[in-house]
Structure 1
Amino acid sequence: MKLHKVRVLLCLPIIGCLNTDFGRVRPTLRSDDIHRWMGPAVTERYGEAESAFPLTDEERTLRDLAYPLIEPPYDRQRWYSVLNEYGLSGMFLQTWWYYDQAAYTAEMFAVPARSTETYYARLIRDIRNDNVRIGPFARVARVVSDMDARRDKALRYVSNLGNREHGNAVARMTENALIARWVHQSLMERTYAYNFALEKLVVIAPSPQAAEVERQLNLMRANIAEAALVPRGSMGPWLPKAAASAAPPVSK
């Protein structure tokens, strides 16, 4: 049995004890670096080196804020979502790498509802939740980007820097940039999925709530553009100069 499955089984008896108020996990069950796995996951995905440097506070926060913007919104209602968010399950689903425009709609309609207005309410709620999260992530991403710019300059001036330290620094800058790109791509894919769901809903069950969905979706698009997590007009990662020159191009 794989390790992540063992962790989940061990956690099952205490799931009912995890939540306190509003679905939050008790602070005693939280630990540092619970989303550190995101760095190795994304660097492996794009064939980049993994950094052995410890995470700074800002880099740790970047990963914590990135997680709910990467996990598919329909997965957040499942029993293991709390375990995932707090790093207790050790689970990462490989299906998250592959975008399926219709998946959100299929999952939404798979849950029976007495009124079709429930589907509109869920769609509005999920888009609003993403809108609330984009700003905080973007602010931390800018702080980390500024830190990496200073790190990039230091690499050119610090003397007696070993190859290992240089390689780990470059790998960490690449890792941070790829996480920002990952979030940007996930957010863009969500706008397509939410729009797909809205188009289905207005055909199946027209409602005045469609206007609010459209308003929230337009706000989300504006928030993504303002966040500027990747260079405008580019789908590639926003890499610092040292990382861009030392790392092979992303091709996968």
Structure 2
Amino acid sequence: MAADPLSRRIATITAILVIVTGCAQQGDFGRPKPGAWNSLIETTGTLAARERGEPASAFPFTDDEITLRDRAWRFLMPAAGHDAFTDALANLTRSRVLPRSWRPDDPAAYYATLMDGPFRSPVSRYHRLSEDIGIDARLLPVFAAIAARVNQADALRLRSLPFAKSLDDRDVRQAAMRVAENRCLVAWVRTETDLRIARYRYALEHLLVAVPSPEAALVERTLRALEERRPLLVPLVPPATEESCGGWEERAVDAAPAPRPLVVKN
């Protein structure tokens, strides 16, 4: 059966992006660089996700939702620069142009990049490792705080559904999709944080054997600081969210409380 025009357009745009996206455009503080190029990728990702049947609400983003996505960038992109194709693939999956399943999951990838890069001395590799871990440790509480605010707004959104009599089925569906998008993004960052910690641990252990240095002690302390902050992500979404981001709509709507009778005082 021939593909519909929207499918063909998305496939064409995706192919172009895969070819020409040499690297992601990163801004400051672990956020994407504002600009037309990154905006195009985000828009294309929304269309592609919608075509795959994933939640992609047409509602505008709140300020906190925009910030949440900006702050997620750091944890969904490679910590150390990889080859252009790997960076492009990470950006295209992060933005949902391509499915998340396309992301490579190699615990040794960070260490390989760390060892391949040009450094003046082995100690410089320890410094780079400590710096990457330290940035994650500093930005994780920022992400968690924003995610908590988004959760509060989503709870208000869901509580209001039973009382908003003018809403139609489309409005309810769009609200459910936005809640699902937010929850799945937070769950994804939680998963990627665990993977990053594992990659950092792998890199430290192998670096210590390859080029022993007292600098390893500093890296270990920094890594422990990151591990100690990881629990900040635990209460943000239920434990099974990572595995159950399918069936999103029913769960989000079910989370809305039943309407309560209004109490009118004379």
TM over 0.5: yes
Q: Secondary structure at the match of 1:228?
A: helix
> What does residue 127 of structure 1 align with?
133
Distance 1:77 1:147, change over 3 A: farther
> What does residue 162 of structure 1 align with?
168
Pairwise CA distance, 1:244? 1.8
Alignment of 1:65-104 (within 5 A): 65-75=71-81, 97-104=103-110
> What does residue 250 of structure 1 align with?
none
Q: Encode CA deviations 1:4-50: one digit per residue, 9 max, x unaligned.
A: 257648x9xxx9xx99x9999987779879756666777888x6332
Report the AA paired with residue 241 of structure 2: G
Structure-2 separation of matches of 1:81 and 1:216: 25
Structure-1 separation of matches of 2:200 and 2:59: 38
Q: Encode CA deviations 1:70-108: one digit per residue, 9 max, x unaligned.
A: 1011237969979x98xxx99869677332111101111
Q: Verify the 8 A CA contact 1:184 1:230 in the aligned structure 2.
A: no
> What does residue 108 of structure 1 align with?
114
Distance 1:235 1:98, change over 3 A: farther
> What does residue 199 of structure 1 align with?
205
Deviation >4 Å, runs of 4+: 5-9, 21-45, 76-82, 89-96, 229-232
Instruction: Note if 1:244 corresponds to 2:251.
Output: yes
Q: Secondary structure at the match of 1:53?
A: coil
Name which of 64, 69, 74 aligns with 2:70: 64
> What does residue 263 of structure 2 align with?
none
Gapped regions of structure 2 (runs ≥ 5): 1-11, 255-266
Pairwise CA distance, 1:157? 1.5
Q: Verify the 8 A CA contact 1:69 1:187 in the aligned structure 2.
A: yes
> What does residue 17 of structure 2 align with?
4
Name which of 181, 187, 191 aligns with 2:187: 181
Report the AA paired with residue 172 of structure 2: H
> What does residue 52 of structure 1 align with?
58
Q: Would you say how many aligned residue pairs link Structure 1 and Structure 2?
A: 233
Identity %: 31
Report the AA paired with residue 148 of structure 1: D
Distance 1:217 1:43, change over 3 A: farther
Name which of 138, 154, 157 aligns with 1:151: 157
Report the AA paired with residue 201 of structure 2: N
Structure-2 separation of matches of 1:147 and 1:226: 19
Structure-1 separation of matches of 2:249 and 2:101: 32
Structure-1 separation of matches of 2:163 and 2:76: 36
Report the AA paired with residue 59 of structure 2: F
> What does residue 7 of structure 2 align with?
none
Instruction: Note if 1:217 corresponds to 2:226.
Output: no
Pairwise CA distance, 1:160? 2.6
Distance 1:98 1:164, change over 3 A: same
Higher Rg = 2
Q: Secondary structure at the match of 1:73?
A: coil
Gapped regions of structure 1 (runs ≥ 5): 248-252
Q: Secondary structure at the match of 2:173?
A: helix
Report the AA paired with residue 142 of structure 1: A
Structure-1 separation of matches of 2:79 and 2:32: 19
> What does residue 264 of structure 2 align with?
none
Distance 1:167 1:23, change over 3 A: closer
Distance 1:118 1:133, change over 3 A: same
Structure-1 separation of matches of 2:165 and 2:98: 40
| TM-score relative to the length of structure 2 | 0.70
Q: Verify the 8 A CA contact 2:45 2:97 in the aligned structure 1.
A: no
